[in-house]
Amino acid sequence: GQNIDQPTEMTATEGAIVQINCTYQTSGFNGLFWYQQHAGEAPTFLSYNVLDGLEEKGRFSSFLSRSKGYSYLLLKELQMKDSASYLCAPSNSGYSTLTFGKGTMLLVSP
């Protein structure tokens, strides 16, 4: 089975930087996804890390340490529209299904 741990809620102000952490324990690890989900909408893909290190994509970056079972999503220059739930999802080998964490609800205030 898999065990995925991420904070339930975080708050930040516009223009700030926030880091959302995710720790996981899984067998046959392939890589780790981050998804964004706005209230009432479907999750959308943000990033996928296979190798250790930082992947930067505009205001969003994602980091992975395979040996530590640890990832984080870094959001810079926060905007109100970044208020959403952020889902950490390690993928495993075999059938390569995704198991999602319960999500971190980020609230960005003015």
For another protein, which is the closer residue by CB, 8 or 110? 8
Of 35 and 63, the one with the shorter C-beta distance to another protein is 35
Does residue number 91 form part of the binding site for another protein (CB under 8 A)?
yes
Binding-site member from 18, 22, 24, 31 for another protein (CB under 8 A): 31
Nearer to another protein, 46 or 76 (CB): 46
**Rounded to 5 degrees, what are φ and ψ at 67?**
-70, -30
Say how far apart CA 75 and CA 77 lie, in whole Å.
7
Determine the Cα–Cα distance for residues 71 and 109; give it in Å rounded to an integer. 25
State yes or no: residue 98 binds another protein (CB under 8 A): yes
- Three-state DSSP state, 41: coil
**CA dihedral for 110, 35, 105, 39, sign (positive or negative):** positive
Site of interaction with another protein (CB under 8 A): 30-31, 33, 35, 41-45, 48, 87, 91, 95-103
